Amino acid sequence: MEGNKTLSQSGKEVLIKAVAPAIPTYTMSCFKLPATFCNEIENMMAKSWWGQKQDENKVRWVSWSKMCEAKANGGMSFKELQIFNEALLAKQGWRIMTEEISLLHKVFKANYFPQTRFCDAKLGSSPSYVWKGIWEPKRNLLRGCRWRVGDEKAINIWSDYWLPCHRLLQDSNQRD
């Protein structure tokens, strides 16, 4: 990212949006990257955007979180790498949950949830780094999922998110 001295702002934007996040994407879809590593990459992206060189510190007029907001909200729509990492891992969770004939599903089912479904899987006592990464965004993944009622045998009305925009019935019973 150091060789962008001759790029226009538009060129820098394309470089930051297309190239920088693409480099760790495969790794991010398999492993949860440490927050410090994501921040380091974002810092390099910010330096590139503001034109910072080795020892020269230029003023960053806007915070990186503001730069990551949508253009309609005054940002530049850059990716927040930690959130992107979580989304890619949630996608792997979705694959495990929906593609039961896949090797990915079979391997994780045998090791981490042999008697239950992915939705009900626990972290376990000595999980692998990959399983921890996929398991952590599972709650957010399940919040976005909804059941399509078929034969009504697979729905647990107390613990499954089966109504849009509602809390779990289990949560509401615990508060009463």
How far apart, in whole angstroms, are the C-alpha atoms of residue 39 and residue 48?
14
Are 35 and 89 in the same domain?
A: no
Could you report the per-residue pLDDT of 25-70, keeping only the tens digit for each?
Answer: 899 999 999 999 999 988 888 888 777 555 666 677 788 788 888 8
* Per-residue model confidence (pLDDT) at position 73: 87
**Which of 136, 135, 131, 133 lies closest to 107 in space, CA to CA?**
131
Mean pLDDT of all residues in the chain?
A: 81
Are 88 and 72 in the same domain?
A: no
Could you report the per-residue pLDDT of 128-163, keeping only the tens digit for each?
Answer: 999 999 999 998 888 877 666 666 666 676 766 666
- Domain of residue 47 covers 9-79
| Chain centre to alpha carbon of residue 58 | 31
Is this model's pTM higher than 0.85 or not? no
Neighbours of 118 (CB within 10 A): 22
* Per-residue model confidence (pLDDT) at position 122: 92
Of 40, 59, 79, which one is at a domain's C-terminal end? 79
